[in-house]
Amino acid sequence: MPPSRETVGFVGLGNMGRPMAACLARAGFETIGYDANPRASAAFAAETGCPTAPTLAALAEAATLAVTMLPTGAIVRRVLLEEEQGALASGLGVGRSGGGLVVDMSSSEPVGTRALGEALAGRDIALVDAPVSGGVEKAADGTLAIMIGADDAAAAERAEPVLRAMGDRLFRAGPLGAGHAAKALNNYAAAAAFTAAAEALIVGEAFGLERETLLTIVNNSSGRSFNSEVPIRQEVLPRTFATGFKLGLMAKDVAIAADLAEAVGIDAPLSRDMKARWAAASAALGPDADFTRAVTIWEPA
């Protein structure tokens, strides 16, 4: 049972955030939800019986720990430091031993995460980054993989019981921002593997190979990967395109990885190419399309 003194305010009750927050409630944490969309807040309350806060200021007053699950790092920063005159960051954990703690589980930019950590430290709030991998199904059953970055070991330890209610594989990636970096780099590697496998099928078909035959050869040879074995076989070949992971999110994570390479002075030309290709696919198909549908942009007309 989690310590009774910890009350979790969960900000962002979308497709991933709502089931993640529900896991916290089931684990026994006092959980208060918040979403800028009143319908999302109402759906969470109806599903879990948990209260929701009408404002960020009210959430800060009630919670000792805030979890953010939002579309971008820029939105996380705005919610914490700007909206309602920065009420969430100003009020979280005030008067409570240990101060406030923010756990950002969004797919945020690692460099921006470090800057946000500095800004929050001036308000006696610690920041831990803890992005996730696994999708909606694993969010619902609490089996996400979670990558943790923190400069403050005590803050990471304080966050861990909360994270264990949502994930069964926790990885201490390194200092603040390392979790976000690991998440983006993993998704970049996955996107590159998916692109390579898709291109192999397209080229092979143009030469006269049947896709099913070539994919069977790849999956029994050195070219196999998770992407060739699962999304390519299960979604691309039957043309279902229904993994549940949005194209816009993949494009965003690839861009974060490419921008990180530039920020640290590493020449990573493949990352630049992947950034451009996935951005183009997202622009053409819309960010809400399944990421596997990008294949339809790369196939010959």
CA distance 110 to 180: 5
Which of 160, 86, 156 lies closest to 116 in space, CA to CA? 86
Q: 104 near 176, Cβ under 8 Å?
A: no
Q: What is the 3-class SS of 123-180, one letter each residue?
A: CCEEEEECCEECHHHHHHHCCEEEEEECCCHHHHHHHHHHHHCCEEEEEEEECCCHHH
Q: Which residue has the tokens 């304080």?
A: 158
Looking at the annotation, which residues are catalytic?
A: 183
Amino acid at 85: Q
CA distance 237 to 3: 49
Residue 255 tokens read as 């861009």
E strand segments, the chain: 7-11, 30-34, 65-68, 100-104, 125-129, 132-133, 144-149, 167-174
Q: Dihedral sign, CA of 191, 234, 133, 219?
A: negative
Amino acid at 260: L
CA 121 to chain CA mean position, Å: 23
How many residues belong to the chain?
A: 301
Q: Return the SS3 of 300.
A: coil
CA distance 179 to 105: 9
DSSP state of 86: G
Q: 217 near 211, Cβ under 8 Å?
A: no
